Structure 1
Amino acid sequence: MQGIIKLAPRVAALVVAASGLAGCASFSPDGGLGVVADITGRTTGKEVASVRTDDDAARLRDATRRLLSRPLSADAAVQVALFNNKGLQAAYHQLALSEADTIEASLPPNPTFSLMRISGDGALEAERQVAGDILALATLPLRSEIARERFRQAQLKAALTTLRLAADVRRAHVRVVAANELVALLGEAQSAAEATAKLAQKLGETGALNRLDQAREQVFYAETTAELATARRMAASARERLIRLMGLWGDDLGFRLPDRLPALPRRPLSQPFVERDAVAHRIDLQIARLELTALATSLQLTEATRFVTLLDLAGLDRKTVEPDGRVIRERGYDVQFQIPVFDGGEVRARQAAETYNIAFNRLTERAVTVRSEARDAYRSYRAAYDIAGHYAREVLPLRQIISEEMQLRYSSMQVDIFALLVEARQRLASRRAAIDAVRDFFLADAELSAAINGGVVSGEDNAQQTASALVPAND
């Protein structure tokens, strides 16, 4: 009994400390979205919002309509997606749920009160008991710290989801605008090919054109028609993908897009420290770092409780009424704990240490991958810029000169109509290649931003595996 009495002040201190921690735990007004907004705002410059009330939905609806009322740029498409994509909204509500889990893990366990009353043979026995989990109280600071790290991870995951959606929208916007530009180009080519095919047919009927040349013009028209149909199908699919990412339906599907991709910037971005920037800013790498920190805290928790897996303290107030009417009251404490005879905690300690080592090596592997992705993305960006610029500065101007010269020679009857048509086909091929080059540049630009800040899908499995390690439970 004396040893139990000595334990009581420690229990009281734990209860007081736990009450202080409980008082500090409270919900944030935005469900943790403020951190997500800060991280993504520095990269995208766009607003993020969680729809929780009818007023929120109405405000975002009005903002979406304003953005859709004019030709939709890539930046506007990203903002529409951040307002309307329901998968992203689910991620934000998942973040709020993670905050609730964090608050729950930061609260001390509720005490258990039990009342027992037994009577018979003229005797009455009553017992009142208040029980509390001392182990849960003792480990509450460490568990609270782990819960906060988990919530910080959840915030970074929500930010990563936001950046990935923004990157996907930019890629989809580039592809659909380039596809529409190609459809317009092939439409012009089909009209010219149709006129040429009809002319070749008439010349063949007069005997001025042989069957071989007639077939060449007919097959060019047929192939151009098939390519135009394929391009229209791909453009429609690209538009639908953009629609899905933006979360639009109903009357919002009639939005307009620019006729062509933007012009190339005058000079490319200079990224002399692209590896350093990627390692410093990549969100998936920050998630892996936080996981390592959480696992280190978990290891401390395991070491602290390796010899005691269950410890309950019960306050007893027992009253017994004897048959002669005498009342006997008993007060004291009931302490229960497991004796580590067979398992002294070495297994759980080894499991925690190896889990930490796994996370450390995956973090190192992820850092190496991030550096490589950043270098590769910047090289692709510069190459795409140089190629697109080459078409704009060299190929297309030369093709224009050739076209003008061929027109002059045709007017002076130095060449026939079919030589002019051959040149037109070659110019068409160059214009198609130029559209592809500009498209590839803007796609590479989106990939570079994703490689530095987040949004690269490759490597997601490693991040998920690293984040899946859980704190060992205390049985």
Structure 2
Amino acid sequence: MRHLIIAPWLLLAASGLSACASFSPDGGMTAVSDVTQRTIGKDVAFVRSADEAATVDAAVKPLLARSLTADAAVQVALLNNKGLQAAYNELALAETDLVADSLPPNPTFSISRISGNGASEVERQVVGDILALATLPARSEIARERFRQAQLRAALATLRLAAEVRRAWFAAVAANETVALLTDAKTTAESTAQLAKKLGETGAMNKLDQAREQVFYAEITTDLASIRQNAASSRERLARLMGLWGGDLGFRIPGKLPALPRRPLDQPSIEIAAVGHRVDLQIARMELVALAKSLDLTEATRFVTLLDIAGIDRRTRDPETTPFRERGFDVQFQIPIFDGGEVRVRQAAETYRQAVNRLTEKAINVRSEARDAYRTYRSTYDIASHYQREVLPLRQIITEEMQLRFSSMQVDVFALLTEARQRLTSLRGAIDAKRDFWLAQSDLQTAINGGGSEGTPSTPSATASAAQPAAGGAH
């Protein structure tokens, strides 16, 4: 039944239902804030007024006044990134859909008057969508499920931004550390090249050895220029993610990466943790629930749409007769010969089965991503720890021994410089290994909580090291 004259009790019922629908004071942000606090321990803010913007600015300025840690950079981005604010606007728009779907249909009143030859006819109709009113509870519940999905999508956008900022911060700090290392190496290489040139002029060094020293200086100069550009680009990416411009671009970040933790995290139930906490998996589950309710509603109303009824109230005045009043109704039947609603039901059922398959696929992928992220985390920790415990201490011993032998004139200055080049390669490898570990730790948290982006490299160093030249060449 699509249209029917609305009785007074029906109008009262509609008025009572409409009074229950309203907008929430926070626009649904409480759920987003709860998820963010529980997973990464950070604050979020939905800025919709000048006062709220001033509050956010007052919270961001002290963070930028100090050297930014990874956590501080994430907090600045969550408060200041305009793309994230646009995601929160999407949540606010989703709430408008919730309120709209929770309201009963507005009744339609129509009146017509026809007169001629002294006679007149007045017809009044009050028409309402009975089907929409009858299915209002079910549609409202589906709308609430959709709104909860929108809240989780906003939370997922928050987690994704936090993960991107954390990765950008580690990449930028690692680039700064490498710049400092290569700057010192360039100074040493320049002194060596000048010494080689002077020895060559006196005949104490042949052309081959001179060329070797000079090419090392040339290569280290090129490497330094490249890594400086990489450091500048990494810093700009971090600034973009934090939503900074103008005077705020003078923020400071550390010159060295944090030290490795004393021991790696132990995650024996990594798959269970991921399946239980992944926000994108929760969204897929809620999508399945909403589709199931939509399927039930489609099946329940498959035949109801085939019947239209409209009530009529007509009053006729004729000067030759006594005025009289007519009441009745108009019924139209649609004969379900070709379509009895099976198409809509089949579409709803197939959409539901599609969601089941996608949810199952996502659950399988989440488990795999969690296992892979933990294996990467452990391997990068072992590699970085190996550099710190074995490679660098041995390199230090070699350096000290070479200096002692040089002091006792057992080796010449060029043997000492050759060892310095090899030590430079080890130091750069240690920086890269430490960076890869911190990136892997970020990816591990993302694999558990959600927030990863499509196309994330399988190894944490894939993007961070792409712009960096090889360490020191084959000297």
TM category (shorter chain) comes to over 0.9
Q: How many Å separate the matches in 2 of 1:459 and 1:298?
A: 33
Give the counterpart letter for 2:117 in structure 1: D
Q: Find out whether 1:394 has 2:397 as its counterpart.
A: no
Shift of 1:10: 11
Q: Deviations over 1:320-366 (max 9, x none)?
A: 11142632212234444533222111111111111111000110000
Which residue of 425, 428, 453 maps to 2:449?
A: 453
Shift of 1:26: 1.8
Q: Find out whether 1:172 has 2:168 as its counterpart.
A: yes
Q: Residues 365 and 300 (structure 1 numbering): CA distance in 2 closer, same or farther, change over 3 Å?
A: same
Report if the CA contact (8 A) 1:14-1:137 is conserved: no
Report if the CA contact (8 A) 1:377-1:444 is conserved: yes
The aligned counterpart of 2:276 is 280
State how 1:50-199 maps to structure 2 within 5 Å.
Answer: 50-199=46-195
The aligned counterpart of 2:259 is 263
Unaligned 5+ runs, structure 2:
457-475
Report if the CA contact (8 A) 1:95-1:158 is conserved: yes
Q: How many Å separate the matches in 2 of 1:194 and 1:11?
A: 95
Shift of 1:315: 3.7
The aligned counterpart of 1:297 is 293
Q: Between 95-104 and 450-459, report the one with greater CA deviation.
A: 450-459
The aligned counterpart of 2:464 is none
The aligned counterpart of 1:320 is 316
Q: How many Å separate the matches in 1 of 2:131 and 2:455?
A: 39
3-state SS of the aligned residue for 1:309?
A: helix
Shift of 1:313: 4.6
Unaligned 5+ runs, structure 1:
1-6, 461-475
Report if the CA contact (8 A) 1:384-1:437 is conserved: yes
Q: Find out whether 1:422 has 2:418 as its counterpart.
A: yes
Q: How many Å separate the matches in 1 of 2:434 and 2:7?
A: 70
Give the counterpart letter for 1:340 in structure 2: P
Shift of 1:16: 5.8
Identity among equivalent pairs (%) = 71
Report if the CA contact (8 A) 1:135-1:311 is conserved: no
Q: Deviations over 1:25-76 (max 9, x none)?
A: 2211100000000011111111000001111000111111110000000000
Q: How many Å separate the matches in 1 of 2:23 and 2:335?
A: 39
Q: How many Å separate the matches in 2 of 1:13 and 1:212?
A: 104
The aligned counterpart of 1:221 is 217
Shift of 1:311: 4.9
Q: Residues 312 and 51 (structure 1 numbering): CA distance in 2 closer, same or farther, change over 3 Å?
A: farther
The aligned counterpart of 2:19 is 23
Shift of 1:459: 8.5
Give the counterpart letter for 1:150 in structure 2: R
Shift of 1:278: 0.2
Q: Residues 213 and 14 (structure 1 numbering): CA distance in 2 closer, same or farther, change over 3 Å?
A: farther
Q: How many Å separate the matches in 2 of 1:339 and 1:291?
A: 35
Give the counterpart letter for 1:273 in structure 2: S
Shift of 1:317: 2.2
The aligned counterpart of 2:402 is 406
3-state SS of the aligned residue for 1:271?
A: coil
Report if the CA contact (8 A) 1:132-1:312 is conserved: no
State how 1:28-47 maps to structure 2 within 5 Å.
Answer: 28-47=24-43
TM-score, normalised to structure 1, is 0.92
Q: How many Å separate the matches in 2 of 1:125 and 1:10?
A: 22
Q: How many Å separate the matches in 2 of 1:416 and 1:174?
A: 40
Give the counterpart letter for 1:54 in structure 2: A
Shift of 1:122: 1.6
Q: Residues 411 and 391 (structure 1 numbering): CA distance in 2 closer, same or farther, change over 3 Å?
A: same
Shift of 1:139: 1.1
The aligned counterpart of 1:465 is none
Report if the CA contact (8 A) 2:5-2:126 is conserved: no
Report if the CA contact (8 A) 2:306-2:334 is conserved: yes
Q: Between 317-326 and 265-274, report the one with greater CA deviation.
A: 317-326
